[in-house]
């Protein structure tokens, strides 16, 4: 029963470490708490239907912000208390925690506050720390600052509640659902209270704001929200006043946003005529893991005196749903390849030039004048050759000093060999051809292999004799010509162990592709074409290479059969790159990776694709296929290929979390196993994945 419950929970966003948050901008009625309560309640009901867990409303939303001396009128303040009571009572029948803005009286003072409540209980009241009193702002006239207020209580709407800036709110029955509250000006200061809240453990930082609009201010707000979410390894939820607020001297645009780790998850339209909300699912589990991974976060907490010691942690029962309520979050199919054309162009520019810069330094450090590279006519060697050509241009060296060798073996196709020659000629490098078949056949004869006796035995030895000979030739050619061997293997192959160890494509003097995934390399090649760096003939060759089935071309095709396919053995690179990104960059559970992949890949018609992605290549994957290939990834990555990554040649890091070098992002034992990861996958992902591979070929 327990196992069945876990499998049913697979589709629950709460089981997968998400919290659904909403940033709301209701229509404001100036100085009318009762009507403002109804506007707020209307959005609360919308949030209830959309299954929100946390809903944030603007600063002083129950009274209106720009009402000046009306804030000191008892009738208005009594009306605010009545409005709070109305909302708190309504929340008894709702699932979320709510944060509303209101002027609150305490000890003969008035405070600009956030009132936090859930299921009929006021959890706490947080006063605004920093009151602006410059230019158009005049808050010191009405409010007392809350910066030093801690450890107190206040009675609001008939309930006694914790009062102060020392409050964190945490669900007792949903891991990582912990939030902090600050108000408007607080995050415009050099020391936002949310920084200490984050260091104390809050993963969701909330800001109730009024924030009148002027030209350019929306961009400033977005910058602050993004930077605070990135710096604090948190989500930052922001809500500003919108339609209906007084325009006596100011104007309002109703900007509401949700950021996570610097990325905008959701935002509202600006200048709306009615109330609205931005809603998104925040990955609080990922945020927690990112803080553990970034040790300077804890160092900052220690340097700040461990703020968790001075915060009161207010627990509340949330009663999270275990149902499948969808996922309000965009999941990129290609985490290494942005969907946005401008971002993709920028990423390709940076990636290509990082590779060029890395190779330039290695050539200069070794006083190198020549490079030796194997050119197969496939994607990886094509891109490495493009990088080499640009490097030699930047160094003022002739491209003829790049020595490209195509080395056909027993399964080399006419198409790939032809593309290799066309590319070398188009780039103006020195090309040559070495047929490795006679030497390979002699080696197979010497070791008594069945293929040498005329039998169609195409085992790992047959494959690696060819792969090893190619690399052996390249190193001896480098000796002969006083050059460096340029590696071509990519990040995806290294993750899956899809390379021949030692004297094979695993080894080189320097590898420019070691931190670039297979999916990104395809777009780097497309970027070179689109940016006009090559003539039309060369671009046609690149197009032909992109259209070629990915294959090591080591095993001859059966009569009338298909060419050896890499992806049929180790899985589609588009899925394996997805798995690679979330397993290594964030350390997610395999079941969560499968959950994300299912949302990203289950329907080819939903969501965005990278620019110019061919329609015929737009695929969808069922959960069973996702589970199968994730199992293959886990087995190959954790159990059988780390020994190869423990002995990698130098290679520049290109993407975040995208280095598997033992001197870089990834350190692991070479004699580990995948049992814990495979067990978690099997226990928590529904469906049959098919048999996992046995002892694989170690190319």
Q: Whole-angstrom Cα distance, residue 666 to residue 521?
A: 21
Element (H, E) at 345: helix 341-365
Question: What is the structure's pLDDT at 345?
Answer: 92
Cβ-proximal residues to 139 (8 Å cutoff; 6+ apart), any chain: 112, 128, 131, 132, 133, 185
Of the listed 39, 113, 128, 245, which one is catalytic? Answer: 128
Cβ-proximal residues to 62 (8 Å cutoff; 6+ apart), any chain: 33, 36, 37, 40, 80, 83, 84, 100, 101, 102
Of the listed 59, 182, 290, 574, which one is catalytic? Answer: 59
Q: Whole-angstrom Cα distance, residue 582 to residue 634?
A: 12
Cβ-proximal residues to 185 (8 Å cutoff; 6+ apart), any chain: 128, 130, 131, 132, 137, 139
Does 128 participate in catalysis according to the annotation?
yes
Cβ-proximal residues to 679 (8 Å cutoff; 6+ apart), any chain: none
| Entry pTM | 0.92
Q: Whole-angstrom Cα distance, residue 510 to residue 107?
A: 70
* Sequential DSSP letters for 368-429: ---EEEE--SSHHHHHHHHHHHHHHHHHT--GGGEEEEE---TT--HHHHHHHHHHHHHHT-
Residue written as tokens 């590319």?
A: 423
Alpha-carbon distance values, 212 to 209, 249, 324, 612 (Å): 9, 10, 39, 41
Cβ-proximal residues to 3 (8 Å cutoff; 6+ apart), any chain: 683
Question: What is the structure's pLDDT at 633?
Answer: 97
Q: Whole-angstrom Cα distance, residue 439 to residue 426?
A: 30
Q: 522: burial class by Cβ within 10 Å (0-12, 13-18, 19+)?
A: buried
Domains of the chain, residue spans: 17-316, 341-684
Provide the 10 A C-beta neighbour count for residue 489: 25
Of the listed 184, 225, 232, 241, which one is catalytic? Answer: 184
Does 81 participate in catalysis according to the annotation?
no
Question: What is the structure's pLDDT at 664?
Answer: 87
What's the gap between Cα 396 and its chain centre?
Answer: 38
**Which CATH number fits the domain 341-684, given the four candidates 3.40.109.10, 1.20.190.20, 1.10.10.10, 3.40.50.620?**
3.40.50.620
Which CATH fold would you assign to the domain 17-316?
Nitrilase/N-carbamoyl-D-aminoacid amidohydrolase (3.60.110)
Q: Whole-angstrom Cα distance, residue 348 to residue 382?
A: 16
All residue ranges of the chain with pLDDT < 70 are 1-7, 550-554, 558-564, 689-699
Are 525 and 423 spatial neighbours (Cβ–Cβ below 8 Å)?
no
Alpha-carbon distance values, 74 to 77, 81, 104, 127, 146 (Å): 5, 11, 11, 19, 21
Are 387 and 359 spatial neighbours (Cβ–Cβ below 8 Å)?
yes
Question: What is the structure's pLDDT at 611?
Answer: 87
Nearest to 650 by CA among 524, 487, 483, 518: 487
Q: Count of residues for the chain?
A: 699
End-to-end CA distance of the chain: 43
Q: Do 17-316 and 341-684 agree at the fold level?
A: no
Provide the 10 A C-beta neighbour count for residue 392: 25
Does 184 participate in catalysis according to the annotation?
yes
Strands 109-118 and 121-127: antiparallel
Residue written as tokens 């899956």?
A: 496
């Amino acid at each position: 029963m327990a196992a069945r419950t876990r499998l049913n929970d697979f589709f629950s966003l709460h089981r997968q470490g998400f919290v659904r948050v909403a940033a709301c901008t209701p229509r404001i009625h100036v100085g009318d708490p009762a009507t403002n309560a109804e506007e707020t309640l209307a959005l609360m009901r919308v949030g209830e239907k959309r299954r929100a867990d946390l809903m944030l409303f603007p600063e002083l939303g129950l009274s209106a912000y720009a009402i000046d001396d009306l804030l000191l009128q008892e009738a208005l303040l009594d009306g605010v208390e009545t409005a709070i009571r109305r909302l708190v009572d309504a929340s008894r029948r709702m699932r979320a925690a709510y944060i509303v803005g209101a002027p609150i009286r305490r000890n003969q003072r008035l405070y600009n506050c956030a009132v936090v409540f859930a299921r009929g209980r006021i959890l706490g009241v947080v006063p605004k720390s920093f009151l602006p009193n410059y230019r158009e702002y005049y808050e010191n006239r009405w409010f007392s600052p809350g910066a030093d207020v801690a450890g107190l209580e206040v009675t609001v709407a008939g309930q006694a509640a914790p009062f102060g800036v020392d409050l964190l709110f945490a669900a007792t029955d949903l891991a990582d659902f912990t939030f902090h509250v600050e108000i408007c000006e607080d995050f415009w200061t050099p020391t936002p209270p949310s920084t200490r809240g984050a260091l104390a453990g809050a993963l969701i930082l909330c800001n109730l704001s009024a924030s009148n609009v002027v030209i350019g201010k929306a961009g400033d707000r977005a910058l602050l929200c993004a930077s605070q979410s990135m710096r604090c390894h948190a989500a930052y939820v922001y809500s500003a006043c919108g339609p209906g607020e007084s325009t006596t001297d100011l104007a309002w645009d109703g900007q509401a946003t949700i950021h996570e780790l610097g990325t905008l998850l959701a935002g509202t339209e600006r200048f709306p005529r009615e109330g609205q909300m931005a809603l998104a699912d925040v990955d609080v589990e990922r945020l927690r893991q990112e803080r553990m991974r970034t040790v300077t976060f804890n160092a900052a907490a220690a340097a700040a005196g461990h703020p968790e010691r001075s915060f009161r942690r207010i627990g509340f029962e949330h009663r999270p749903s275990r149902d499948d309520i969808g996922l309000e979050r965009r999941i990129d199919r290609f985490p290494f390849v942005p969907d946005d054309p401008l971002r993709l162009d920028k990423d390709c520019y940076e990636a290509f030039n990082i590779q060029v810069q890395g190779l330039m330094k290695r050539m200069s450090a070794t006083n190198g004048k020549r490079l030796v590279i194997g050119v197969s006519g496939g994607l990886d060697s094509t891109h490495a050759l493009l990088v080499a050509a640009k490097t030699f241009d930047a160094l003022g060296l002739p491209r003829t000093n790049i020595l490209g060798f195509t080395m056909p073996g027993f399964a080399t196709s006419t198409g790939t060999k032809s593309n290799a020659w066309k590319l070398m000629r188009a780039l103006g490098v020195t090309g040559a051809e070495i047929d490795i078949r006679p030497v390979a056949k002699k080696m197979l004869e010497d070791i008594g292999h069945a293929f040498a006796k005329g039998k169609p035995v195409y085992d790992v030895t047959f494959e690696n004799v060819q792969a090893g000979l190619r690399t052996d030739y390249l190193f001896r050619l480098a000796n002969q010509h006083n050059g460096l061997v340029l590696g071509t293997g990519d990040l995806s192959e290294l993750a899956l162990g899809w390379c021949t160890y030692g004297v094979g494509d695993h080894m080189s003097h320097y590898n420019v592709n070691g931190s670039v995934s297979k999916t990104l390399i395809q777009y780097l090649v497309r970027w070179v074409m689109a940016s006009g760096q090559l003539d039309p003939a060369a671009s046609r060759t690149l197009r032909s290479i992109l259209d070629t089935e990915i294959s090591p071309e080591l095993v001859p095709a059966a009569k009338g059969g298909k060419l050896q396919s890499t992806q049929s053995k180790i899985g589609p690179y588009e899925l394996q790159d997805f798995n690679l990104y979330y397993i290594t960059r964030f350390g997610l559970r395999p079941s969560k990776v499968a959950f994300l992949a299912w949302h990203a890949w289950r329907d080819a018609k939903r969501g965005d694709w990278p620019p110019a992605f061919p329609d015929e290549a737009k695929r969808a994957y069922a959960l069973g296929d996702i589970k199968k290939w994730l199992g293959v990834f886990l087995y190959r990555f954790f159990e059988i290929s780390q020994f190869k990554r423990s002995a990698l040649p130098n290679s520049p890091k290109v993407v975040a979390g995208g280095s598997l070098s033992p001197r870089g992002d990834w350190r692991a034992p070479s004699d580990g196993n995948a049992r814990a990861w495979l067990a978690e996958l099997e226990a928590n992902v529904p469906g049959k994945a098919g048999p996992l591979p046995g002892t694989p070929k170690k190319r």
